[in-house]
Copies of this chain bind each other. A is one copy, B any other.
């Protein structure tokens, strides 16, 4: 992997200049983002035996109080690749929470045995709350409709690995831009980079919120309800699922759930070398036929979750709060 980041002298992984908790992508400067990307690239090249010493004899707790298999397994793989032990909770219904225990108390107890705590929760702001009551680093693995910073970092890492840069790219975000946590965070993250153009396509009623467009003025933004309009311009189509569970109203979901499908025919209208990204799981937004084409970057993107989460955990390990 070669790119504009490679030239920069990067702080050592065990310096104390990283964040003390990974809660929100809005806490990340361009420099902090680049620290993660560089560390991920370094870990991808590192022999397994060497990597397995980084968190040796450390314990990582993954507390998933909302189901998310893919994210949990990715974090647990990353932690174990670094040599850490893992204790895992992934079933809200079997936890002490059913006895009425508060989330804060759960975190305070995990504080007593874990060196790093990865948290997923269905309530917005849960991860920030966890960080407040805990002396160990907290990693937010998704809190409601709010934040999922490791997803955004792996998106950026995927773009960076594929294109060797982020500056100057043209990216279409497609799908549910109203409720889609992933694209919201990606907007903020991309706004740290230079000369990035973002095309926003969504079905009517699922447009990107205005406050986000106003807060990411550094981006060149074009909006449309016509999927094909900007296709010839873009380097990347970042597709998202229409997420049933984020809709307050089932009827609103039914109207739009099959609003768009990315097919090989659509891709044929794009620039050569266009890449399709998707945070997964997909339902019908990307046709299966796309999977075997060079445009399909989404499984690579998912696999990039490992080095990026390794990077986050390794950078957090020596943090003093």
Q: Decide if B99 touches A245 in the complex (CB within 8 Å).
A: yes
B91 touches A299 (CB 8 A): no
Q: Quick one: copies of this chain in the complex? A: 3
Residues of B within 8 A of A98 (CB): 67
User: Which residues of chain A from 241 to 299 have any CB-CB distance to chain B below 8 Å in the complex?
Assistant: 241, 243-245, 280-283, 291, 299
Contact of A95 among B69, B99, B243 (CB under 8 A): B69
Complex Cα spacing A305 to B111, Å? 12
For A90-104 the 0/1 string (1 means CB < 8 A from B) is 110111111111100
> Is the Cβ of A87 less than 8 Å from the Cβ of B94?
no
In the bound complex, how far is the Cα of B59 from the Cα of A281, in angstroms?
22
A-B pairs with beta carbons under 8 Å apart, 29 shown: A49-B57, A67-B93, A67-B95, A69-B97, A69-B106, A73-B87, A74-B113, A77-B113, A80-B85, A80-B87, A81-B85, A90-B91, A91-B94, A96-B280, A99-B241, A99-B243, A101-B280, A101-B281, A102-B281, A105-B280, A105-B281, A108-B299, A108-B302, A109-B302, A111-B303, A112-B300, A112-B303, A113-B303, A113-B305
From residue A317, how far is it (CB to closest CB) to chain B in Å?
13
Tell me if B90 and A306 are in contact (CB < 8 A). Answer: no
- Listed from nearest, the 7 A-B pairs whose CB atoms lie closest are A112-B303, A101-B281, A67-B94, A80-B85, A48-B57, A69-B95, A77-B113
Known: A48-B57, A105-B282, A280-B101. A96 touches B68 (CB 8 A): yes
| Interface residue? A89 (CB, 8 A) | yes
Does A311 touch B at the CB level, under 8 Å?
no
A61 at interface by CB-CB < 8 Å: yes
**How near does chain B come to A119, taking the closest CB pair, in angstroms?**
14
Contact A109 B59 (CB under 8 A): no
For chain A, residues 98 to 139, give those with C-beta under 8 angstroms from any C-beta of chain B: 98-102, 105-106, 108-114
Contact of A52 (CB < 8 Å), options: B57, B110, B245: B57
Interface centre among A81, A106, A108, A281 (most CB of B within 10 A): A281
